[in-house]
């Protein structure tokens, strides 16, 4: 599953980049290439990359919920994990994270410096810290390889969603518009986000033991450390 999802995400990001180069050649004329680029542009919402990102988060939420059902304890943390995935799926589909700018605007005056072009990133960081704090007891009890996979997944995702997003925003602020430099950062950002979520799906799925029996499939829990 990890390989399939990662390959599909890579194809979409590469397609977006190649189509961007094509529309640059035509100076963004309203041609069929431009229309096709809008369908695959990872910097736009409500298109194919958005659908994939939303679907990946939904899969993560569903898998976490299944793990919560079969887990002998800490079920409530698995269900919180599932709720985070489902919310993130809705966020990708409806751009809910853009509303975090309100929280970001409130917190900005209290920062020693302001490196953020997008105010919603500040609110997103606060929410991410909250989610990490709540789920840390669960992650700490997972088998070491799976724990490390989830830590790597979160790190990769935040590297894209926070660091690359911030750099891209600063690039736009410097140039005054979206340039090829910004588009390069955006494609790196989306690649990291896709990879992070795909790795998280793999890690959570590894907590399930699926066996075929005479009655069908039996799903078990791998166990904590």
Report the run of H or E that residue 217 belongs to, with start and end: strand 216-221
Please say whether the beta carbons of 146 and 96 come within 8 A: no
Q: What's the pLDDT score for residue 182?
A: 87
| Cα–Cα distance, 180 to 20 (Å, whole number) | 9
Q: What's the pLDDT score for residue 216?
A: 78
Q: What's the pLDDT score for residue 38?
A: 94
Residue 210: beta bridge partners? 219
Torsion sign over Cα 8, 14, 17, 20 = negative
Q: What is the pTM of this model?
A: 0.91
Per-residue pLDDT tens over the stretch 11-44:
999 999 999 999 999 888 988 999 999 999 999 8
| Cα–Cα distance, 157 to 162 (Å, whole number) | 8
Please say whether the beta carbons of 83 and 40 come within 8 A: no
Report the run of H or E that residue 27 belongs to, with start and end: none
Rounded to the nearest integer, the mean pLDDT of the chain is: 89
Q: What's the pLDDT score for residue 103?
A: 63
| Cα–Cα distance, 153 to 99 (Å, whole number) | 25
pLDDT tens digit at each of 225 positions of the chain: 778 899 999 999 999 999 999 999 988 898 899 999 999 999 988 899 999 999 999 999 999 999 999 999 999 999 999 999 999 999 888 877 666 666 666 666 666 656 666 667 777 788 899 999 999 999 999 999 999 999 999 999 999 998 898 888 778 777 766 788 889 999 999 999 999 999 999 999 999 999 888 777 889 999 998
């Amino acid at each position: 599953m990890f390989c399939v999802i990662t390959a599909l995400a890579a194809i979409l990001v590469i397609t977006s980049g190649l189509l961007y180069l094509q529309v640059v050649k035509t100076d963004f004329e309203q041609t069929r290439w431009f229309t096709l680029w809008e369908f695959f542009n990872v910097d736009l919402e409500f298109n194919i990359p958005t659908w994939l990102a939303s679907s990946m988060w939904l899969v993560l939420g569903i898998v976490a919920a299944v793990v919560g059902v079969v887990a002998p304890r800490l079920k409530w943390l698995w269900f919180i994990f599932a709720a985070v995935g489902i919310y993130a799926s809705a966020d990708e589909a409806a751009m809910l994270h853009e509303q975090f700018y309100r929280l970001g605007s409130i917190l900005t005056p209290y920062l020693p410096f302001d490196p953020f072009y997008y105010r919603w990133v500040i609110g997103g960081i606060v929410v991410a810290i909250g989610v990490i704090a709540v789920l840390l007891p669960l992650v700490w009890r997972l088998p070491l390889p799976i724990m490390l996979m989830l830590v790597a997944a979160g790190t990769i995702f935040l590297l894209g969603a926070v660091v690359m997003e911030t750099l891209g925003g600063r690039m736009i602020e410097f140039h005054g518009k979206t340039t090829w430099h910004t588009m390069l950062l955006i494609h790196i950002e989306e690649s990291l986000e896709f990879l992070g979520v795909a790795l998280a799906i793999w890690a959570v799925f590894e907590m399930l033991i699926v066996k075929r029996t005479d009655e069908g499939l039996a799903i078990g829990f791998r166990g904590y450390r």
